[in-house]
Amino acid sequence: TSASGDYFVTAYDTLGNCPSQTAMQNVTVNPSPVITSVSTNNPTTCGGTEGYIVLNGLLPNNTYEVHYQKNSSAYYLTLTSDGSGNITITNLNVGAYSSIYVISSLSCSSNIMAGPFTLVDPPKPATPNLSSNAPLCSGSSLNFAVSIT
């Protein structure tokens, strides 16, 4: 159900003509968090851990248990959303991140952002072109010329 409030139940005998006293139960329905979007930022160095993933649309300044998978291994950590309702998962390296969701302090789960959200290393520099004055005689100087195109 999605509505908090008082719920009432009355029991009847099998003939339907003898009702019990009505029982009442007050029910509180806590809202489930909603992740509206996910953005990523790749590491800035090869093999580095400067990458991050941002979860948007959560309630501001709330603590959540953040769950995700990386290359099919499950991870979780506790993080607090910023004043805009964003959570940033930091210190990430390259890999495919998926099945991202949060659990609120009231134990309510969010929607699952399936992904994958793939972080990659920055582009590698071009392979240098290398030439030399070889072959050469013993005792001669070896000279290299390097260029990158």
What's the pLDDT tens digit per position in 8-65?
A: 888 888 777 788 888 988 988 888 999 999 999 999 999 999 999 999 999 999 999 9
pLDDT digits (tens, 9 = 90+) for 97-121: 999 999 999 999 999 999 999 999 9
3-state SS track over 67-133: EEEECCEEEEEEEECCCCCCEEEEEECCEEEEEEEEEECCCCECCCECCCEEECCCCCCCCCEEEEC
**Distance, CA of 118 to CA of 121 (rounded, Å):** 10
Task: Name, of 49-53, 71-75, 129-133, 145-149, the range with top average pLDDT.
Answer: 49-53
At residue 92, does pLDDT exceed 90? yes
The pLDDT, as a whole number, for residue 144 is: 85
Instruction: Give the pair of three-digit tokens for residue 88.
Output: 């940033």
- Residue 101: how many CB atoms within 10 A of its CB? 19
- Is the bond preceding 135 in cis, omega lying within 30 degrees of 0? yes
Indicate the pLDDT class of residue 1, thresholds 50, 70 and 90. low
User: β-strands 144-147, 129-132: how paired?
Assistant: antiparallel
